[in-house]
Structures are given as C-alpha cells and as structure tokens.
Structure 1
Amino acid sequence: MTSAAAPDTADQDVLGGDVLGGVDSHADTLHVAVISDNGGHLADAEFTTTAAGYAAALAFLEAHGHVRAIGVEGTSSYGTGFTRAARSAGLHVVEVNRPDRAERRRIGKSDPIDAYAAARAALSGRASGSPKDDTVAGIRALHNAARSAIKARTAALNQIGHLLITAPDTIRAKYGPLKGSERTDALARLRPAGDAVHTAVLTALKSLARRVKELTAEHEALTRALDGEVTVHNPGLRAVHGVGPDTAAQLLVTAGGNPERMRSEASFAALCGAAPVPASSGRTNRHRLSRGGDRQANAALYRIALVRMSSDVRTRAYVVRQTAAGRTKKEVIRLLKRAIAREMFRCLTTTVAVPDIADLRPLRQAKNITLTAAARHFGLWPATISTLERGIRRDDILAHAYRDWLQAA
C-alpha cells in the first residue's frame, strides 16, 4: 500500500462528516479516493487486491468520516473482491461505468483521476445501480464453462472440415461424404497408416475427432449441472415454454441475481436490447431497433421467440395475424422479443408457481394408456407428451387438457 495523500487544509473541517469513496480497480491493485459530501477531494491511496488490502482500504475510507456510499468501477470483474468485502462490512456500494470518452479526453486518465470520478459519480447520483450479488456466481461459472466447451467443439469440427478439403483423395473420398456424429465416430476409431502424408493427416483427424467427442460429453455434463442449478434457483423461469438451461442461465446472469437492480420491465427490456429507441425528429415520429444492452441476453430472447414460433400455438397464431397485417418476419420477431422480455421480467422478479405435473404419468399408467395413444389423441409426437410428464417442458394448457382427458378415460 502506498502512503495516502494528505487532505487539503480547506477540507480539514469536513473530516468526521459524511464522505464518499471511489474505487478504480485493477487485477493486482485498486486505487481508492475519498471526497467530502460537497465534492471536495480529501485523499487517495493505492491498495493490493488481497483480503488485507481490502481491509486496509475500508479502514482508510472510514478514517475520513462516515462513508455514505462507494462508487466502484468493475464490480463484476476486477472490483468483485473489494465489492464483496465492502458489502460484508455493511457499506453501500454502487456500480460505476467508466467515464465517457469526451470527459476522459478533457481531463486525462490516471488511477487517481478515475477513482475521484467514481466517487463524484456516486455523489451526484449518476451512478446508482446496485452491483450484482453472488447468488448466481455458480450459474455464471457453469454457463461460461459450457459455452466455452461448445466454442472449442465448433472450432474442432471446423478444423476437421478444412482438413478433409485438402486431404489426399483417398481420405477425402472415404470420410468426406460422412456427416455429423457418423463422421466423428469413424475418425475417432481409425488407425493411421500409409505414407508419411496419409499418416500425419489421419493422426490429426483422429485427434480432432476424439477432442470433439470429449467436448461433447463435457458440455452435456455441464448442461445437466447447469439445469439443476437453474431449476433450484428459479423453477418458474426454467419451466417457461422455450426456456432451456442455457437460456435461463443467461437471463439470470444478466439480471445479476438481485432483480431489484431492474426498476421496471421496460428497464429490463432495454438491458436486453429489446426496447425500441425513439428516433423522432420534426415531423418524423418513429422508433429504431436498439443495438445496445446485453447482446447475449438479446440472443436468449431470440432463441425463445424461435422456439415458440415453431411449437407454441398462441405464438403461431400471433405470427399469422401480424403477417396478415403486413409485417415482415424480422418485425414480428422484434415484437415477440419485447413481449417475451416482459414475461421474463415477471419470472425474474416474482415467484412464479409451477403447476404440479407429477400426477400425469402415474395417472396414464394406471389407465393403461400408452404414450403413443395419448399423443395420437392430441395430434402430437409421443416425445412431446413424455417431456411434459417429466417436467422438461411446460405447457399449462396442454397439461390441463391432458389431465382432464386421462381422468375421463
């Protein structure tokens, strides 16, 4: 820890009153600044990002007076440790975005400048958002690991495809026509032989194929673990039609575990980039598509919309009505994402009761009715009834109709 800068003489009389803190966080150090409640600079110092460093930083802040709030840059990255320590000590922490570029060009950049800017942001109220808490830290970790496994698997599959394009004719003719898991399984079983070129290419293909299989198994295991965590954390969200483990995890990570950070469903839609942005001027009155917000959350809403457009009766009827009204598919999806954002906000901020479906399978078996017969009655695939019985998918209307039919059978 470096020595703290001495307070200005003009600010000596504010020591012991209300003060605000600002933190510019880095991987190994964090710079802490203290200002008075009228914005006067009091002191700043640098601390290490260790438990001892966090304790020293908090003591440094409290030595200057009653800490009203602390503005922290990077509460979910480099500032996570300090944020956790400050909140454990009962201090109010607000999340601060980095200074805008115009201000940075005007006043320059340094750790003390950024720390004082964070403190002023907390004082002015420009920074008022609560940092994300740790309740979804496990979900975030599993989600990131599962996503990275998919990215690595895709890269390996692409490499296999590129290798086969330039491979010797005999190799390309044998393995090129194969697709999907059939090709991967065949390549993983092969025994490299032939001249030096054939042996090298086959060895590379075998290694990549085995990597694909290992990453596939790894992703499936991570997805099962993620599904369990998400279901325990928010069963109502996981049970919504079209919401799978990955989608539910992304929405929970975006919300940050503490939904009180989101003041309204409109703010959540804006956070997901699904709220139209006013673009009116003069006689022109219109809105444009938002390109901001969390793009991964926006992609999650898009996946839900696609699933519902293909398998949800009400959504398909809505698409038909909007298409008849002259809207394009892109415009319909945009409307759907905004409506889905409203529904997801309700699931994230309130406790949504999940109807009990545990009685459906025993009731069907007691009536000696097969899955095929039940599916034929409703004009569905047997897999649809099976996933409904096992709680993998939620369809309240179908569940009620299915229960009534079984009881009447």
Structure 2
Amino acid sequence: MGRIIIGVDPHKLSATIEVVDHQERKLGHGRFTTDKAGFAAMRKYAKTWPRRVWAVEGANGVGRPLAQRLLEAGEDVVDVPAKLAARARLLDTGHGRKTDAHDAHSVAVAAVRAKDLRVLAVDPELEVLRMLVERREALTRRRVQTVDRLQALLAELLPGQAKKDITTGQAKRMLASVRPRDMAGKTRRRIAAEELAELIAVEVKMKKATAELKTIVASRGPNLTDIHGVGPVVAARVLADVGDVARFADRNRFASWTGTAPLDASSGEQNRHRLSRAGNRRVNHMIHIAAVSQLRTATDGQAYYRRKRAEGKKPLEALRCLKRRISDAIFRQLVTDAAAARPESVDAGPGGHRGATQESSAAGSHPHTGTSDQPLPGPAPTTLRPAASTRKTHLKATG
C-alpha cells in the first residue's frame, strides 16, 4: 500500500485533518484541539496508517507550531503552500466553499498531486534564528514607540528644544536641565525619566539580540554580509525566511519570491513593467534597506543607480532596478555559501530541509508569486561589494 497523506488545516486552538490515499480516496477525518490532550489524540488516531505523511498548510506560517511538534514527535511532514491548497479547493466540487473540512481536503489533495513539496526537518539553529529575528524586530518597534513618547514629553518640558533623532545621552542632559516646580511639570518629568529608563533597557536587549544574530549568521551565511548594506540583522531575516535556497530554481524565481521582479504591464505597442506588491514583504523590506544604504555611500550600487537615472528612469524606477540587482547578489551568495557548506550531495539542504523544491516558501508564500519572472535589463554579473573593499478537551475524530 502506498503512503497515506494526512492533510492538516491548522489554527491556533484546533486542527482539522483529512486522510486520503494516493488515489485521493477519503479514509478518515477529524478535528482536534492543539493542547496536549488534543495533539496526543490526533497522533493516536493517525497511527491507524503506519505509512503516513503529514501535509501541513503554511508550515512556516500559522501552521509552524503544529508542524514543529509533529517533527519533534518523529513524524514525516511536508509543507503545502496556502496558494497551492487554494487552487485545489477552487478546482474541486463544492463551489469553492471555505470551511475547515474543505480546507483540510484541499491540502491533502494538493499534497497528493504536487511534485517535490518541501520536506521539513528539525533544524534547531534555524528556529532559534527566526525567534531572535522576530524578537529584535519587536524590540525595534518598542524602541520607536518609547522614543516617540519621550520626545513628546521633552517637547512639553523644553519647548523649542526637541530633537528629531534623540539619543539616550541627549535625553539625560535635557532632563537634567529642567526642574519644574508645578505638579503637572513634576509628573511630566517623572514619566519622561521612566520612559528614558525603558529606552535604555530596550537598547541593551537589542544589542544582546544583535550579538546573538551575528554568531548564527557567521555560521549559516558567513559571506552574506560582504554585500554592502547587508548587516547581521538584514542577513538574519533573509536566512530565516529563505531556509533552503535550493528550492529556488534560479535568480528569477528568487526575485519573484522577494517581490523585486517587475510585473509585465505591456499593452499593444507599449512595453513597460510595474512594481510587484507580491512576494515576501519582510525580505523585500530588508533588500530596500540594503539599497538605501548603498545609495548613501560611494558603492557599485550607487553608480548603477546613477546610470539608470541617466538612462531616463525615474528615481523609484532606478531604485527598483537596484533592488533587483541586490536580490540577484543575495541569491548568488546564498547558493555559494550553501555549496561551500555542502561539498558532497546529502539529503539535507543548507537550511536543514530535505527535498529542495520550488513549490513552497519558508515565509508561507509561494516562490512562484507574481505574473512575471523576467529579470531587469543588465543584471549584475558579480556580487555587489563596497567600493572601499487552549482548550482543555479534544474534539472527536471520525473515520
């Protein structure tokens, strides 16, 4: 008997499953809570089929916690992109109705029909990298909010002396220079001092998180930071979301996934492309940071941008060209680092995943995103470098 596919539609508090064989015949289904009792009941129910593979929708998005638990329990798990499951649901009977049961069925059918779905594997270091990246991004947002509150208070305490980009040292000196005598002023100064203390604490945590990221980036992508504008934080986000770079067939597929491949908007005799809003927006933002950094100093990227402007492109169009160029450079460096880390052919990819594919995304979106994989004219032939060198009970399953 062939392998059995268990399609999973995951949610925070529950998971709906459907069991099908290689001919898409339904063998069972159920809905379970995601607490300890529900997870144990779901695995016990699945033991009816020894040769089973769990197909989890969005195994790097909302389905990641459940997928990781299954991996830790020794189960075989594949990632089914949400868009792939949506296509299966659209082509199925039932007028494309979206319910948990229909979603689980679509995931199972998509897993049966799809080729080379990404097989997940336990990779503790990659999971740690993702957690640290998300932690630092949360701290960055918290710092911005704290600075905004502190600046508002200082503007009231010292009218006309507010600074746009204030440091903790400047804030300390500004607070030391004011001694209000009224009750409102004293309260305002006390709150400002508390905000300053919180800002100092957040910056200490950010430095610690950055140091940890540097250590992991040095081991997983040692040369990625050679690209000008790609620091440890940018590199960490790229590595965390990409996972196994081998799942991208070429730089065009990678650019489509990062949202830096332009979309064809030609009509009649007019040949033009427009900005893509698809792809992984977090990685796209990291590439944008790298592009802006290159524009601020004398780099190959700055020279490339100026050439595009001289050719008649508008500033945003030239910037999009530069972002695509950086995307190509990042892809090449990831491939190079992966090859160096894996001199011989093994089952596991550079991101710790077996069975590289172009069918799923480490960020939960499909690498095929977009309607055009065409590269921009004249991509960079070499890597860019700096010019200077719960619920307590589980629900019943039916079979």
Q: TM-score range by the shorter chain?
A: 0.7 to 0.9
Provide Cα deviations, 1:178-219, integer angstroms capped at 9, x if missing partner: 962254112565786522111111112111122222222221
In the alignment, does 2:147 pair up with 1:157?
yes
Whether the aligned pair in 2 keeps the contact of 1:71 and 1:96 (CA below 8 Å) is no
Q: Could you tell me which residue of structure 2 aligns to residue 114 of structure 1? A: 103
Equivalent of residue 71 in structure 1, options 52, 55, 63: 55
CA positional deviation for 1:345? 0.9
Whether the aligned pair in 2 keeps the contact of 1:95 and 1:130 (CA below 8 Å) is no
Correspondence 1:180-259 to 2 at 5 A = 180-181=166-167, 182-187=169-174, 189=176, 193-255=180-242, 257-259=243-245
Equivalent of residue 308 in structure 2, options 309, 322, 325: 322
CA positional deviation for 1:234? 1.2
In the alignment, does 2:277 pair up with 1:288?
no
Q: Distance in 1 between matches of 2:160 and 2:312?
A: 50
Q: Distance in 2 between matches of 1:51 and 1:199?
A: 51
Whether the aligned pair in 1 keeps the contact of 2:227 and 2:386 (CA below 8 Å) is no
In the alignment, does 2:26 pair up with 1:41?
yes
Whether the aligned pair in 2 keeps the contact of 1:132 and 1:258 (CA below 8 Å) is no
CA positional deviation for 1:271? 1.1
Q: Distance in 1 between matches of 2:319 and 2:229?
A: 14
Q: Could you tell me which residue of structure 2 aligns to residue 137 of structure 1? A: 127
Alpha-carbon RMSD: 3.3
CA positional deviation for 1:129? 4.3
Q: Distance in 2 between matches of 1:174 and 1:396?
A: 40
Unpaired runs of at least 5, structure 1: 1-15, 355-393, 400-409
CA positional deviation for 1:297? 0.9
- Number of aligned residues: 339
Whether the aligned pair in 2 keeps the contact of 1:188 and 1:207 (CA below 8 Å) is no
Output the TM-score relative to the length of structure 1: 0.72
Output the TM-score relative to the length of structure 2: 0.74
Q: Distance in 1 between matches of 2:303 and 2:330?
A: 21
Provide Cα deviations, 1:75-104, integer angstroms capped at 9, x if missing partner: 124433442354463625122306549949
CA positional deviation for 1:250? 1.3
Unpaired runs of at least 5, structure 2: 341-383, 390-399
Cα gap change, 1:107 to 1:82, in 2 (>3 Å): same
Whether the aligned pair in 2 keeps the contact of 1:97 and 1:127 (CA below 8 Å) is no
Correspondence 1:4-403 to 2 at 5 A = 16-49=1-34, 53-54=38-39, 56-64=41-49, 66-67=51-52, 69-87=53-71, 89=74, 91-97=76-82, 100=86, 103=90, 106-125=95-114, 128-130=117-119, 134=123, 135-165=125-155, 167=156, 171-173=157-159, 176=162, 180-181=166-167, 182-187=169-174, 189=176, 193-255=180-242, 257-351=243-337, 398=388
Whether the aligned pair in 2 keeps the contact of 1:21 and 1:35 (CA below 8 Å) is yes
SS at match of 1:22: strand
Q: Distance in 2 between matches of 1:132 and 1:342?
A: 27
More helix by share: 1
Whether the aligned pair in 2 keeps the contact of 1:47 and 1:53 (CA below 8 Å) is yes
Larger radius of gyration: 1
| Bigger relative contact order (CA 8 A; separation at least 6) | 2
In the alignment, residue 233 of structure 1 is paired with which amino acid? Answer: R
Aligned-pair identity in percent equals 25
Cα gap change, 1:154 to 1:313, in 2 (>3 Å): closer
Q: Distance in 1 between matches of 2:162 and 2:292?
A: 32
Whether the aligned pair in 2 keeps the contact of 1:262 and 1:268 (CA below 8 Å) is yes
Cα gap change, 1:128 to 1:17, in 2 (>3 Å): closer
CA positional deviation for 1:72? 0.9
In the alignment, residue 146 of structure 2 is paired with which amino acid? Answer: A
SS at match of 1:304: helix
